[in-house]
Amino acid sequence: MSESKSIPEALREAAAVLAGVSDTPRLDAELLMAHALGVSRDRMILDALEADAPVAFPLLLDRRLAHEPVAYITGTRAFWTIELKVAPGVLIPRPDTETLIEAAVEHFGKAGPATVLDLGTGSGALLLAALAEWPQAHGVGVDQSAEALAIAGENARALQLHDRVAFLEGGWDAAEGFFDLILCNPPYIREGENLPRQVAAFEPAGALYAGADGLEDYRRIAPLLRGYLAPGGIACLEVGQGQAANVAVLLHAEGLRTDLRQDLAGITRCVVASSSHY
């Protein structure tokens, strides 16, 4: 691309070349351009800028053509109603994961839960989205990655939610107490599964892979849930495509009831667990 292209021209050219590496080439191009301009994508589109593309844009485009995720290039990712900082070392929040928040909203309504536990909090996406949804709620986020917890803490402060959240470094059993809502997006990819390059080469393996069948972490989590769930509470667990039935079996073995929720693509993405005694 030449350095004298206007913004609309640069976007058209970028979308064309990104079609080879992205399922959303135009969106990627617009997000990168907005980042280079230092404005939001909405503002860029509304202003319909006809100025020359900034010199930083081709450099950002090159990074995306090397399969680096857009979220790592821009350092941000929108999730539910919030904007999050993301960086290498934390899993990039996906729209599919919003299915867990949708299930929680369906269960609790506007009243919401009083207490929230996020197991494997990463960037803090699920926990902070829940706290933003319910201003009276308090929460705990657990992760074994100090790097992820540092980013989660930054996100909590940026969103002014830090006074309602605590982050703990440790495994699935690191939290104490009872919680009305448990959120969990654990690793669930089978070892050796062929993932897109932008995922396999850039996102943290520890947040992706979970043994030969992808169920290792569910086997560890299932026995812990009853000890965390407050009366009338629910746990919302994200699952990979085709895993819901197996995860439900693990939860039933621990005396929990289950219900299933689908994402926007019609894939069963969330298993909702609750105590059989309530």
pLDDT tens digits for 57-105?
999 999 999 999 999 999 999 999 999 999 999 999 999 999 999 999 9
Decide if 184 contacts 99 (C-beta within 8 A): no
Q: Which CATH number fits domain 7-66: 2.40.30, 1.10.8, 3.40.50, 3.40.1350?
A: 1.10.8
Class of domain 81-275: alpha beta
pLDDT tens digits for 163-222?
999 999 999 999 999 999 999 999 999 999 999 999 999 999 999 999 999 999 999 999
- Tokens 């769930």 identify what position? 229
What pLDDT is stored for residue 3 in this prediction?
55
pLDDT tens digits for 260-271?
999 999 999 999
Q: What is the DSSP string of 107-150?
A: HHTTT--SEEEEET-TTTHHHHHHHHH-TT-EEEEEES-HHHHH
In angstroms, the first-to-last Cα distance of the chain is: 62
pTM of the complete model: 0.94
Q: Looking at the predicted structure, is the pLDDT value of residue 1 above 50?
A: no
Six-digit token pair at 228? 């965390």
Six-digit token pair at 70? 């857009």
- Tokens 């020359």 identify what position? 52
What's the mean pLDDT when you consider all of the chain?
95
Domain-wise residue ranges, the chain: 7-66, 81-275
For residue 79, what is the enclosing H or E element? strand 76-79
pLDDT tens digits for 7-40?
999 999 999 999 999 999 999 999 999 999 999 9
